[in-house]
Amino acid sequence: MPREAGPAKMIQAILVFNNHGKPRLVRFYQRFPEEIQQQIVRETFHLVLKRDDNICNFLEGGSLIGGADYKLIYRHYATLYFVFCVDSSESELGILDLIQVFVETLDKCFENVCELDLIFHMDKVHYILQEVVMGGMVLETNMNEIVAQIEAQNRLEKSEGGLSAAPARAVSAVKNINLPEIPRNINIGDLNIKVPNLSQFV
């Protein structure tokens, strides 16, 4: 009864390149040799480039990945093209939303994301993408959840920053002490003096 028993239903590749076709983020979930990867990027760029902005966001006919069964679903933001190459059995509009989620998350993490962010923080971008898409499958679509994960990573990174991060750590430790709160909790009118955060000072 299954409708189609195709082997893999997934996102095959995620390509981000700028208006000049320079790759800014390339992620393949299926192994291709390096040259083929570059060829795919170039081919995709040429396919996408010649399309107007206000026609549909779906495109068939990339000859290198999988052939006719695959669709390119793309969005164009300012200087960047985000292209997802997916199996024809994925929901097209769903993928469009996913691109939007990805970009909005980038925007939240980098505060007004631009092309340079993708260059300078390539690792970060990869990590964010990993929280959205894992091995060609959609992991998480809830933006807050993704951002929370990334922030948790940032915290870990800071805590591991070693000596160079020591001053920052000191600052954040001081902030966490939360001084104004302590006097408030001491109820003078009562004999019981509560100092709930006492353990912090030990």
Summarize as ranges the residues that interact with another protein (CB under 8 A).
1-5, 7-10, 22-27, 29, 31, 34, 37-38, 41, 51-52, 54-61, 68-69, 91-94, 96-98, 100-101, 119-120, 122-123, 126-127, 130, 134-145, 149, 152-153, 156-157, 160, 162, 164
Kindly give, in sequence order, each residue whose CB lies less than 8 Å from that of residue 21, ignoring residues fewer than 6 positions away.
41, 42, 45, 46, 49
Are 146 and 107 spatial neighbours (Cβ–Cβ below 8 Å)? Answer: no
Query: Quick one: 137 or 173, whose CB is closer to another protein?
Result: 137
Query: Quick one: 26 or 182, whose CB is closer to another protein?
Result: 26
CA distance 99 to 78: 14
Query: Quick one: 23 or 182, whose CB is closer to another protein?
Result: 23
Number of H helices, E strands in the chain: 8, 7
Minimum distance from CB of 171 to another protein (Å)? 20
Minimum distance from CB of 82 to another protein (Å)? 14
Residue in the structure block whose two tokens are 């190459």: 85
Find, among 58, 15, 59, 19, the residue nearest to 37 by Cα. 15
Instruction: Please state the length of the chain.
Output: 202
Structural Rg of the chain based on CA atoms: 24
Query: Quick one: 143 or 182, whose CB is closer to another protein?
Result: 143
Minimum distance from CB of 134 to another protein (Å)? 5
Query: Quick one: 29 or 110, whose CB is closer to another protein?
Result: 29
Residue in the structure block whose two tokens are 């679509």: 141
Minimum distance from CB of 181 to another protein (Å)? 29
Minimum distance from CB of 100 to another protein (Å)? 6
